Amino acid sequence: MNLVIQKYGGTSLGDVSKISHAAKRIAAADGSVVAVVSAMGSATDTMLDLARSLTATPHARELDLLLSTGEQASAAALALALNELGVPARSFSARDGGIITDGVHGCARIVSVDPARIRECVATGQVPVVTGFQGIAADSGELTTLSRGGSDTTAVALAAALRAEACEIFTDVEGVFTADPRLIAEARKLDQLSYEDMAELAAGGATVLAHSSVEYASTHRVPVHVRSSTTETAGTWVTGLRSAAPPDGERFTAVGVAHRTGQLRCRLDGVGPTALTAVAAALADPLLHVDMLGRPTAGSPCSLRFVVNAADRDQVDGVLADLRAAGAFTKCHWSGPMGKVSLVGRGFRARHPRVRLLLDTLKAQGVAVRDVTVHARRISITCAEHDVLDAVTRLHRMFLDPTPCERDVK
């Protein structure tokens, strides 16, 4: 079956003209299309603001039902626009589309997809328009929402279940860039990326593709094409592309720079060796969005450092209160807001001369680095929020616009 999944984000459906443009693109497709939609424009944020104006602690089930209305409106609107063009179309809810989740409200994961009704719709010459960002709990049948960017994951999951040729993610940029092109004028569009590199960029803060969607695509080997919703130019293909060199022989190679702002840093003191595993497990809850920075060694009591989104602090505090009551640590120190900047690539090692060059250059620019974590594919630093743009700019110039002599450094 010549079938592609086309996912349209909120910026691609922000008003009547954009919805009409998306409908025309679908109508012009050579083969069959299944469309997946996000909420229009800032509808999700508007619903979140509504909930928070009513209560400081919105009930998770009711919040999911409230937020899900945005995608339902988008799906119906796009189906209306397609039918007006003479293209038979039908909107599908998560239940209609067979999107089954683990049932965790607000941060559900897709566990299976039964696309029978969608497949039947395609077979009759219609375009299914499916609500993204949501699914039905396997045990209770309740509606649940995925985490931020969950419509990307819905699209990839449908592409895998329907054995589509590709999953096209339409957005407001032309593809995946070496840095955020809205901030860094020198950022370059990448023609291809491996699943691994895209996952690291997403984990570092790149918002063009949700991290969960990249994980799903990698597991099911779904080719993903990130492209502009306003032009016909080719975007960035995210596939199983791999480096020919073995890991031990890879050079220090940078792919891109990602960043996050609005982060808070937490340091737990007095974490005993027996409590370390329990603390790490409690903070690994996907609802908390914790990024570990410290790698303490077993032995005497030590400190554990991590960063979280500022909006998640209340949830983290609740977990920490239980851990402290159980004697897992002695003191807790919060600081911020701050930012996290990550250089993504391969061949990274803690003692590589370029890591020292990176830190020395940032220091010379007046960027006060608080934490440094070096993984094989990502180097992350934390700094004050007002230093984030300088840090991203400097790292991009150093490693992604290199001079000939710098390219020869291994």
Q: Is 262 annotated as a binding residue?
A: no
- Say how far apart CA 372 and CA 352 lie, in whole Å: 14
Q: DSSP alpha helices (H): ranges in 188-237?
A: 195-204, 211-220
Q: Is 216 annotated as a binding residue?
A: no
Q: Is 15 annotated as a binding residue?
A: no
Give, in order, the Cα–Cα distances in Å from 101 to each of 5, 43, 190, 203, 326: 20, 23, 33, 22, 33
Write out the two tokens for 390: 């300088």
Amino acid at 121: C
Listing DSSP states for 44-66 in one string gives: HHHHHHHHHHH-SS--HHHHHHH
Write out the two tokens for 101: 């989740």
- Say how far apart CA 303 and CA 264 lie, in whole Å: 16
Q: Is 378 annotated as a binding residue?
A: no
Give, in order, the Cα–Cα distances in Å from 29 to each of 87, 179, 185, 195: 11, 30, 32, 26
Backbone angles phi, psi at 272, to 5 degrees: -75, 155
What does DSSP assign to residue 155? H
Q: Is 10 annotated as a binding residue?
A: yes
Q: Is 331 annotated as a binding residue?
A: no
- Say how far apart CA 101 and CA 103 lie, in whole Å: 5
Q: Is 31 annotated as a binding residue?
A: no
CA 162 to chain centre: 23
Q: Is 297 annotated as a binding residue?
A: no
CA dihedral sign, ordered 156, 160, 161, 166: positive
Q: Is 180 annotated as a binding residue?
A: no
Instruction: Using CB atoms within 10 Å of the CB of residue 410, give its burial: 0 to 12 exposed, 13 to 18 middle, 19+ buried.
Output: exposed
- Say how far apart CA 363 and CA 103 lie, in whole Å: 46
Write out the two tokens for 100: 């089954």
Helix (H), strand (E) at residue 17: helix 16-27
Give, in order, the Cα–Cα distances in Å from 224 to each of 188, 208, 234: 19, 12, 12
Give, in order, the Cα–Cα distances in Å from 302 to each of 141, 205, 351, 373, 380: 44, 28, 23, 17, 21
> Which residues contribute to the annotated binding site?
7-10, 44, 71, 171-172, 182
Q: Which residues are annotated as a binding site for ATP?
A: 7-10, 171-172, 182
Question: What are the binding residues for substrate?
Answer: 44, 71
